[in-house]
Amino acid sequence: MKKLLKVIMSMFKEEKLQEFQDIEIKDVVMDSKKVQEGSLFLAINNGNKYIQEALNKGAAIVIGDKVPEEINDKRVITVENTIEIMQKLAREYRRELALKVIGITGSNGKTTTKDLITGVLSEKYITEKTQGNYNNHIGLPYTILTLPGNTEVVVLEMGMSSFGEIDTLCKIAEPNYGIITNIGDSHLEFLKTRENVFKAKGEMIKYISSDKLFIFGDDPYLKNVSGIKVGYLEENDYKINIISEELSATEFTVNNFEKYKISLNGKHNCINATMAIGIGKAFGLTMEEIQRGLEKSQMTAMRFEKKLVGETLYINDAYNASPTSMEYSLMTFDNLKVSKKKIAILGDMLELGEESVKFHKEILEKAIETKIDKIFLYGPLMAQGAQLVKNNNIYTFETKNDIVKALREEKEPIAVLLKGSRGMKLEEIIEQKEQK
């Protein structure tokens, strides 16, 4: 990572130029357990306690802000704030690589859109993306600092929970292209209203020219934003029509004549895919290249992920949940063409603020309007919502083990949807079921 070393030497040229000129950085880590010979170790918070351990393992450079007094090693750079230095290094390294940066924000669909865009652009460019949930003021600069020197495009998720965070991330990443997937109910615990969610997500807008900003045009909060609009309404620049949806794939057209196919289900995933199509076109890819990229996309786990355990088909959509994504998931599951009894397991939706029970009640009202055979609930918020919605197809459970027992008592083949916030860890139901 010679280009990263160049940036570090430039930033600390007065005191460290001679010491660093013969160093080779092999990787960048924030966890001292992952330090190896040649690592750049970024000591954040408690990480400062493990600086000596990192040095003993052969770290090439250590940057810390609370370096123990007894450590006197030329490989250590002491700074006032490690996180701020990370952010500055990331911005300069991004410039050194001459990257094209695509920033993605929105209440739902960021990860799937990121995965699809990466798959598409990888057909023509050396493309990297945010891994896991590294999408905040620490994770985003870390992602940039770990990029190989030959990276041409990076697709970055930009998460937030309050005002000013998207602004900070844009200042670090300096995105060339932007995507706002939608404005939903996520983060209402902190931001209180959808209007505030829009203001917070919309901090990206001033950093992207309108001809490079892709937005969900059907969203009432985004329809008046100047940009390239994607959606199902006639006025969108990329208008979607679904042709057919099967268990293994969905076919759709864009602007009534370009036909595409994805191995995903649901109207929302056609929107995510069309964002990737629009970005692909902006980067000069052909329809054939875009389709190949959509097919090859490596999707992040627990996003409507299908898994067959015996005769039971699990749809693991349990990475996270909000009222909007919960409704998308239920609609998609309801429309799924599968000859099995359908059971939806719904966990609490967290961080929704004062009206949380109201949101759970509303989602249950929508759930009972579907053709889903049974609705299993897990969590105190879902239980409170259920008390306000009387229906014979709703069942509440206190433990995941009780849910597993109920699933095992089903006498016919079943398809099971799991949807809830990350804190509910509904995927453990599959793990327990497999241990039968």
Q: Collect all residues with Cβ–Cβ distance below 8 Å to 436 and sequence separation of at least 6.
A: 408
From 296, 327, 354, give the residue that closes a domain: 296
Residue 204 C-beta-side C-alpha neighbours within 13 Å: 35
pLDDT at 39: 96
Q: d(Cα 20, Cα 424) in Å, to the nearest integer?
A: 46
* DSSP state, residue 43: E
18, pLDDT greater than 70: no
> 190-235 pLDDT, tens per residue?
888 989 999 999 999 999 999 999 999 999 999 999 999 999 999 9
Mean pLDDT, range 44-70, rounded to an integer: 94
Smallest Cα–Cα separation from 180: which of 243, 103, 274? 103
Pairing of strands 394-397, 374-378: parallel
Mean pLDDT, range 375-383, rounded to an integer: 97
186, pLDDT greater than 90: no
User: CB neighbours (10 Å) of residue 2?
Assistant: 9
pLDDT at 74: 87
Based on the fold, state whether residues 283 and 232 are members of the same structural domain: yes
Based on the fold, state whether residues 132 and 251 are members of the same structural domain: yes
Based on the fold, state whether residues 68 and 101 are members of the same structural domain: no
From 251, 276, 296, give the residue that closes a domain: 296
Q: What share of the chain is helix, strand, coil (3-state, %, to 5)?
A: 40, 20, 40
CATH number of domain containing 312: 3.90.190.20
Based on the fold, state whether residues 272 and 309 are members of the same structural domain: no
> 381-398 pLDDT, tens per residue?
999 999 999 899 999 999
Based on the fold, state whether residues 281 and 136 are members of the same structural domain: yes
pLDDT at 161: 85
* The Cα angle at residue 70 between residues 64 and 71, in degrees rounded to 5: 45
Q: Collect all residues with Cβ–Cβ distance below 8 Å to 95 and sequence separation of at least 6.
A: 174
269 close to 112: Cβ distance less than 8 angstroms: yes
Based on the fold, state whether residues 55 and 105 are members of the same structural domain: no
299, pLDDT greater than 70: yes
Based on the fold, state whether residues 310 and 258 are members of the same structural domain: no
Q: Is 68 helix (H, G, I), strand (E, B) or coil?
A: coil
Mean pLDDT, range 81-90, rounded to an integer: 97
Quote the mean pLDDT of the chain: 94
State the total domains in the chain: 3
Return the bridge partners of 105, or none: 180
Mean pLDDT, range 151-158, rounded to an integer: 97
Mean pLDDT, range 312-335, rounded to an integer: 95
154 close to 101: Cβ distance less than 8 angstroms: yes
> 86-126 pLDDT, tens per residue?
999 999 999 999 899 999 999 999 999 999 999 999 999 99
Q: d(Cα 422, Cα 433) in Å, to the nearest integer?
A: 19
Which residue range is the domain that position 36 belongs to?
A: 2-80
H/E element, 56: helix 51-56
Mean pLDDT, range 11-16, rounded to an integer: 67
305, pLDDT greater than 60: yes
The string over 113-135, giving b where at least 16 C-beta atoms fall within 10 Å of a residue's C-beta and e elsewhere, is bbbbbbbbbbbbbebbbbeeebb
Q: Is residue 390 a part of any domain in this protein?
A: yes
Q: Is 145 helix (H, G, I), strand (E, B) or coil?
A: helix
> 245-267 pLDDT, tens per residue?
999 899 999 999 999 999 999 99
Mean pLDDT, range 6-32, rounded to an integer: 80
pLDDT at 19: 67
pLDDT at 14: 53
423, pLDDT greater than 60: yes
Q: Is residue 88 a part of any domain in this protein?
A: no
Based on the fold, state whether residues 263 and 120 are members of the same structural domain: yes
Q: Roughly what angle, to the nearest 10 degrees, separates helices 13-20 and 2-11?
A: 140
From 237, 269, 296, give the residue that closes a domain: 296
Based on the fold, state whether residues 124 and 255 are members of the same structural domain: yes
Token pair recorded at residue 50: 């493990």
166 close to 156: Cβ distance less than 8 angstroms: no
Token pair recorded at residue 312: 């039971």
Mean pLDDT, range 65-85, rounded to an integer: 92
433, pLDDT greater than 80: no
Q: How confident is the model at residue 401 (pLDDT cuts 50, 70, 90)?
A: very high
H/E element, 9: helix 2-11
CATH number of domain containing 121: 3.40.1190.10
pLDDT at 207: 98
* DSSP state, residue 320: -
Residue 213 C-beta-side C-alpha neighbours within 13 Å: 22
CATH number of domain containing 28: 3.40.1390.10
Based on the fold, state whether residues 63 and 106 are members of the same structural domain: no
pLDDT at 13: 67
pLDDT at 9: 85
187 close to 110: Cβ distance less than 8 angstroms: no
Burial of 432 (0-12, 13-18, 19+ CB in 10 A): middle
Q: d(Cα 94, Cα 186) in Å, to the nearest integer?
A: 30
Based on the fold, state whether residues 116 and 65 are members of the same structural domain: no
Q: How many residues are recorded in the chain? A: 436
pLDDT at 390: 85
Smallest Cα–Cα separation from 367: which of 349, 355, 350, 380? 349
* DSSP state, residue 419: E
436, pLDDT greater than 70: no
Q: d(Cα 277, Cα 113) in Å, to the nearest integer?
A: 10
Cα 66 vs. chain centroid, distance in angstroms?
A: 32
pLDDT at 167: 98
Tell the residue number behind the tokens 């902190």, with chain if given: 190
Q: d(Cα 422, Cα 301) in Å, to the nearest integer?
A: 12
